[in-house]
Structure 1
């Protein structure tokens, strides 16, 4: 079946670069090479509109100290992702980044692999979000492309959602363009509810343009693994500008 590409490109979509993989490379040898602070400076200089980090409890890539070290140098949008355990909440409340993205990671999760059940966790999420809002921190909830979960997110008081895009990326790589449909529907519902729409996970140069063209009101994408991998061949500055061109 042929899927029509819709014209949703009028909204400017910001590119936030997730720099976790740079920390992973650094940690594999110890020391401070590559330097995550310098990399954050560089991606902003090359045109990225934000920097994303996702410190995990075991600090296997980005560390909590990195989060503090990056604060003075991120002059675009600073997005900190993570499971709102007490240590994470204390750090975010102290640093006051532009945005905190709540992700339901378990301690042993290799990478983010599911969104929140916003209905089951409504009370918890509402309480957490209220704490961040007191400090003026924009909040986003990582969610699967499910209409009920979007409505549940609205009830928590969050400012935005981040749609978990692994399923889309996998199906699109197999030639199934219709995999975008639940994401489009969720974005349309979020827009109608007054929620901002972000997206992330497995987005790449191969799929980002199609995704953007079919997502109404897409405000931000967070891309790390693919961007860093592509940069090994094409160069970081070049890849950032390739993403920005595809997001226009």
Structure 2
């Protein structure tokens, strides 16, 4: 991940951002790192929140922001100006006599010009290097001021021993918070498991009751069907018996009438 080089980069805004844009970016980043949607360890998230608060503290006040902007200004090396009178020069050489002395002076002059150009080149190179070193020193000083401001905002005028003790307490509090969160998570998991078991038991009980009720209804229906068939059978037998008795009575009546007829004759 690319390191944030300035406080503007840390807040994700441009150096010409307005106070409203800086405040909006500050609130958005705090919400992100305090809501747990960052995926960072708790220590890194706390450090990131502290850095964001310090950046907003510096950039939200015009005086502090102006001082910080001044610390970011880099010295820009100016390009060498062209030599005055650097214009094409027409030299009439038709009447020039090249004597040994003139030739020697021309060579010496050329060497001097080359030496001057080399000197100018190395001077410009050294000036740029010095500018880079100064820029690095200014950035380091600005970073030290930011760290000092963050330390002053966090701890005030506490001594090193007091700071170490407070950091130790903060680590213990974070460890206790993590342990408490883990215990709560385990307790929630245990309650969820118990609730799932109870729901499964209720479901099995309901299913067993439903099956038992279905069996009882089936048995009752079978008994009613058997009783109905038994009553129908008994009714049929009773009707058959009555029909048989009727036929017997009819035969007896016919026989009796025949006997009486015979007696009269």
Structure (1/2) with the larger helix percentage: 2
TM-score by length of 1: 0.21
Structure (1/2) with the larger strand percentage: 1
Larger RCO, structures 1/2 (Cα 8 Å, 6+ apart): 1
Rg larger in structure: 2
TM-score by length of 2: 0.20
